[in-house]
Amino acid sequence: MAWVTINRNEPVVDPKAPPVLGEAVRVKIRSFFDRYETKRAVLLPALHIVQDALGHVPWQAMVEIADLLEIHPSDVIDTISFYTHFWTHPKGEKVITVCRSISCEVMGGAAVLEELKKQLKIDEHETTKDGKYSLVTEECLAGCDNAPCLLINEKLHKHVKPQDVAKLLAEANNDRIAVPRSALFDASTLSFAAASKTNGALLGTTSDVREMREAD
Amino acid sequence: MPKITIDNQEIECCNGVPVLQAALEAGRDIPHYCYHPGLSVVASCRLCLMEMMMPNPKTQELQWSPKLVPSCQTPVRDGMVVRFDSERVRQSQATCMEFFLLNHPLDCPVCDQAGECHLQDYSFKFGKPESRMVDQKLVNPKKDIGPNTLLYQDRCVMCTRCVRFTDEISGTHELCMVNRGSRTEIDVFPGRPLDNPLQGNVVDICPVGSLLDKDFLFKRRVWELKGTPSICPGCATGCAIRIDHANDKVYRLKPRFNPKVNQWWMCDEGRFGFKYVHNKKRIRSPLVRRGYETLTPSWEDIPEIVRFRLEEHVREKGAAKVAAVLSPFMACEEAWLLARFVREIAPQSVLAMGPVPMEGEDQFFPVGAKGDAVRFTILKEKCPNRRGVEMVLHAAGGDIVTFEQFTERSGKGDFSAAWIVGGYPKPWVDKNTAKMGANFELLVLQDLFVNELMAGAAIVLPSCAWVEREGSFVNAAGLIQSFERAIDPPDTARRDGQYLYEIAGLPGLYTGERVRERMAEALPAFAKAYAAPELPVHAH
């Protein structure tokens, strides 16, 4: 057995690098502090905010979140790596999630996945070179009655056949959700979207942020 | 105290403890990985499952519960009836063990933990002899997670004891679990390694060979080591430790359970602080100077020479010209023997306390804890026995001075003969002290390492490290704890206690207990040293 050791003493974050979290993002994270007893509890909202703003949560953002919430960066990586929702490397503008569970498998989901891999020229959990699409698989998308199905961002595509894939990818609004926002939608995120729009540096990637911007 | 029935055997147990703890205390070997009495309970390893008698919700009739219950998470209740000795429990244990070993590399021949590994013990006792795993095993590389610790991820059973330790005891949170489910790993944030002052404990509490000490890595198989109970001399906290040694060499120090002092833990400073014991620069044999001659007399002659030279000096210069400096690294017994001898020869002699090394500030853990929340303390007073030597000095009475006063008075020429005891692991003779050596006509130096004072010393006696001596230390809280001799001193050196005992003219061989009996006449506290209770045999 080869003696292979990963060296964890080497830092991945340059302490002198400029911060990746803009002031708008920090303000937004701080606005959650009052809602919880501890700052630690703001970790999940903070990760959502950062991922919405940057598209993914890079190493440096983890350290900055940890500093904001007064926790150790290891607590941040602990939580991030638990949830597949959070990305630690750049995510495409649109994320295609293919169901790999039993109903979709029976109805030909595997062929759809293969076709997607072929056309996008990427493997699972990778991003295309132009940064447009990322491809992941999930256990069940709760759309078994419409199998095989896949998600593009949050839009569910039903009864997808391998021959439909090319058309689906070419369509510009393939991630557009027609359903109106629920009353639980946090109105304050709208002003956040406005702030991030003026900031300009923040790259909106999920349909949430795009919608927020359009609603503005 | 509640009484519970385990496998038809009624046992009495402490209030509020988990059933697992009660069973272990009753001497039962209940397999467990994640449960540690010093940490929070997560009930994640599922090895300690038991059957419990419960009332049927429909008929209220007592019957065995339909599901197995984790015994680490179930507190004892009076009249509780549980059983571990059943087919269902044994089946569950065997299944769990099979899962734990799914991806295990079975590299025991090269694993440091082999011999004290609970994967080995439990799979032998509770597991199955063969694995049904036919797929490729997951292979993970080793991770260098800190300056002193190596993580072998594929041996890990994910008990998370180490993660809970950094969260709850050291309060430094370096360790975390990354990923999820069967791909979970223990890790640190890259560039933020495990380097807190208590990190060595994660190696101790790891029930398998996943976390290993780089200092001990590949040095010795553990079954070749002999463990001797001792007390850590690193600071005034006085942690109970075990010295693991073989062939008169100390290989590692491990903490020993002591509810009054260190619980289950010890700090890295103490853990790796024994290296000076095997330093080549130690004084190894007694030296006596007569005129320009340097002699190395045999130990048999030493008591007579020392006594004669001191008595001669007292006759010539008077008893008040004699001083003795006792070191806070001496055991109480040694300090008492020396003080007794010096006062016997020169009743008006001056006794002084040697310099007490102080470094930095007291450290409390978890980091930032105060008052009752403190689980572990590292004191700035870096010597084990200041209080013990003070007790001896106090009992001796007469002229007692501090080291500063001693230096000052010896500068004025108050003393013409001195017995100075060092025994410090780090160089302790500063410029002032070195200059002081010339003030004495007769200097008896009892020290561990060659130093500047040696040039002016008429008699040099080699001191021994605490692993070679026996006696007792009094910690910062005033607790008297005895320690045993683990290894023999190097070459021709002899234990301090033994030659001081002979010089003092006492009959027979020196043992700590024998001297404490004599000491108890003036210092009743020494009649009985505190001994920490033994942990249950199968607890870990």
pLDDT at A183 over 70: no
Provide block-wise average pLDDT over 10 residues at a time, chain B (540 residues): 93 93 95 96 95 92 94 94 95 94 92 94 91 88 93 94 96 93 90 95 96 94 96 95 96 96 95 94 92 90 94 92 95 96 93 94 93 94 95 92 92 92 92 87 94 91 95 95 94 91 92 94 92 92
In which band, very low, low, confident or very high, does the pLDDT at A202 lie, cut at 50, 70 and 90?
very low
pLDDT value of position B255: 96
For an interface test with B, give the residue of A7, A72, A76, A85 to mutate (most B CBs within 10 A).
A72
For an interface test with B, give the residue of A9, A38, A83 to mutate (most B CBs within 10 A).
A9
Q: Does this complex have an ipTM over 0.90?
A: no
Chain B residues in contact with A13 by the CB 8 A cut-off are 190-191
pLDDT value of position A203: 40
pLDDT at A206 over 60: no
Q: What residue type is B365 in one-letter code?
A: F
Question: B3-97 maps to which CATH number?
Answer: 3.10.20.740
In which band, very low, low, confident or very high, does the pLDDT at A199 lie, cut at 50, 70 and 90?
very low
* Rg of the Cα atoms in chain B: 28
Residue of A nearest to B174 (CA): A74
Cis geometry, peptide bond prior to residue B347 (ω within 30 degrees of 0) = no
Give DSSP secondary structure letters for B41-88: ----S--SEEEEEEE-TTT--EEE-SS-EETTSSB--TT-EEESSSHH
Do the Cβ atoms of B191 and B447 come closer than 8 Å? no
Which residues lie below 8 Å from residue B289, measured CB to CB, with a gap of 6+? B295, B457, B458, B459
Give CA–CA dist B516/B464, Å, rounded.
Answer: 20
Do the Cβ atoms of A193 and A216 come closer than 8 Å? yes
- Are residues B190 and A82, on separate chains, in Cβ contact within 8 Å? no
- Are residues B191 and A12, on separate chains, in Cβ contact within 8 Å? yes
List A residues 29-58 in contact with B (Cβ-Cβ < 8 A): none
Instruction: Check if B144 contacts A (Cβ < 8 Å).
Output: yes
- Are residues B146 and A9, on separate chains, in Cβ contact within 8 Å? yes
- Are residues A81 and B147, on separate chains, in Cβ contact within 8 Å? no
pLDDT value of position A200: 41
pLDDT value of position B432: 86
Give CA–CA dist B243/B237, Å, rounded.
Answer: 17
- Are residues B191 and A11, on separate chains, in Cβ contact within 8 Å? yes
Residue whose token pair is 């007790």: B391
Helix then strand then coil, % of chain B, to nearest 5: 30, 20, 50
pLDDT value of position B182: 80
Question: B287-355+383-527 maps to which CATH number?
Answer: 3.40.50.740
List A residues 69-128 in contact with B (Cβ-Cβ < 8 A): 71-78, 81-82
Average model confidence (pLDDT) across chain A: 84
Residue count of chain A: 216
Do the Cβ atoms of B398 and B392 come closer than 8 Å? no
Instruction: Check if A179 contacts B (Cβ < 8 Å).
Output: no
Structure tokens given for B11: 């046992």
Mean pLDDT of all residues in A1-11: 82
Task: Identify which of B147, B172, B191 has the shortest CB distance to residue A10.
Answer: B191
Q: What is the 3-state secondary structure (H, E, C) of B417-447?
A: EEEEECCCCCCCCCHHHHHHHHHCCEEEEEE
pLDDT, one tens digit per residue, over A44-101 is 999 999 998 998 899 999 999 999 999 999 999 999 999 988 988 888 889 899 998 9
The class of domain B107-114+131-224 in CATH terms is: alpha beta
pLDDT value of position A205: 42
pLDDT value of position A33: 95
The model's pTM is 0.87
Which residues lie below 8 Å from residue B254, measured CB to CB, with a gap of 6+? B204, B227, B241, B242, B244, B266
Report the DSSP pairing between strands B350-353 and B399-401: parallel
pLDDT at A191 over 60: no
Ordered domains of chain A (ranges, CATH):
23-82 (1.10.10), 94-170 (3.40.30.10)
Task: Identify which of B105, B107, B190 has the shortest CB distance to residue A11.
Answer: B190
Q: What is the 3-state secondary structure (H, E, C) of A177-211?
A: CCCCCCCCCCCHHHHHHHHHHHHCCCCCCCHHHHH
pLDDT value of position B94: 95
Residue ranges of domains in chain B: 3-97, 107-114+131-224, 287-355+383-527
